[in-house]
Structure formats: structure tokens, C-alpha cells
Amino acid sequence: MGVDTKGILIGSHSAESIAAIIRNHGNGIGHDVEVEHLGRLYPDSDISTASARIFFSDPQRRERRTMYVFWNIGDDADVYDGERTHVSLGASGSAVPVIEDIVSHFGGFMCESDSREEWRAVHVRPGAEVVLTPLDRLSIDIGQAFHAKDAEVLRKLAADPEKLSAVMDAFDRYRSSLDAGNAPSV
């Protein structure tokens, strides 16, 4: 098993829409793109995880690459637990720029090397026709300020109006005490 560059795309996106981004990537990548739908990963279970492969030529590596796409997979729910699409590509050559291009089209998170599991949040690039919910935009904003796994804890907090209100009230009280000259003790 090799090292992969991975992406979590916010929302469910078709293999064809992901392949279209690869076709337009540039740097000689994107010609000769094919999609193969593999169906359910666990046909004899209640798990509805589906998968596909996207094949494309990579002139940097002078070979044909295979990207894997998964839907409804439970992996990396500690990074983002909403509806998501996973993409995975062997971590060499063009993997990082290709995955980053895809993630920046949809918004989400990427990990340059799954051997390190260092996820980073990626905003939707200007001009992409993707609309994220306010909670998903907040997830990316928080993910850029904190480690992605810590940000997921805050995302869950933000999704619960009662807990969010209580935390906001606590922070308001804290700010008021700072404004009154009550610096926190160390």
C-alpha cells in the first residue's frame, strides 16, 4: 500500500464533474481522461459506499494515473463529518496540485500525504459555481485557523444552536471582563 494525497470535497459530486476539473487542469494533464464506476464497495452489507476510478495521463510521471473516488465513506469523519466525496491519488508527481485543484473547486480539506495525516482547509476558489452552506463555510474558515480535527469539534458546536449560544454568551462575558481591565491570569 502506497502513500496517497487525499481530498475531502464538501457535498456529493459526480466522478464526471471531478474528471472535468482534471481535463481543465493544465500542465499537460487532463487529456485522455476516463471514468469507470465500480459500484458499491460492500455489496453484501447495508453500507452504501460507492466508488469510481478516474484514469488520466500524467506527463510529469510519464504514466497513466488512477484517482479513486468514494461516496458515503466513513473515513476521516474526524476532519469533516457532513456529506462528502473523497478523492485519493498516489502521492507523487502531480498529485498535490491535481488534488488541490479539485478541492478548491468544491471546497473542503486536503492531505498531501496520508502517512502524516496533516489536513488543511481549502476555500472554494473565486469563479467556481459551488454554493456552500454557512456552516460549511464556517468549517473551512475554522479549519484554516485550527488543526482540521480540532475544527470539526467546533463545527459540531456551531451546528447546535443552544450550545453555540451558550458558548457565545461565555465569550461575550470573557471579552467584557477583558475590556474592564481584568486580564486573564497565567
| Residue 140 to residue 127: CA distance in whole angstroms | 17
Is residue 60 a part of any domain in this protein? yes
Is residue 185 a part of any domain in this protein? no
Q: Which of 27-36, 115-124, 155-164 has the lowest mean pLDDT?
A: 27-36
- Provide the number of structural domains found in the chain: 1
Q: Which of 2-11, 35-44, 125-134, 141-150 has the lowest mean pLDDT?
A: 35-44
Residue 5 has pLDDT above 80, yes or no: yes
Is residue 84 a part of any domain in this protein? yes
Cα–Cα nearest to 95, from 169, 40, 14, 25: 25
Listed ranges 33-47, 61-75, 90-104; the one with the highest mean pLDDT: 90-104
Is residue 186 a part of any domain in this protein? no
Is residue 74 a part of any domain in this protein? yes
The range of the structural domain enclosing residue 159 comes to 4-179
Is residue 184 a part of any domain in this protein? no
The 10s digit of each residue's pLDDT in 88-101 is: 998 877 888 999 99
Confidence class of residue 131 from pLDDT cuts 50, 70 and 90?
confident
Is residue 106 a part of any domain in this protein? yes
Q: 42: helix, coil or strand?
A: coil
Q: Concatenated DSSP letters for 63-115?
A: EEEEEEEEES--TTTTT--SSEEEEEEESSTTHHHHHHHHHHHH-EEEES-TT
| Residue 22 to residue 68: CA distance in whole angstroms | 13
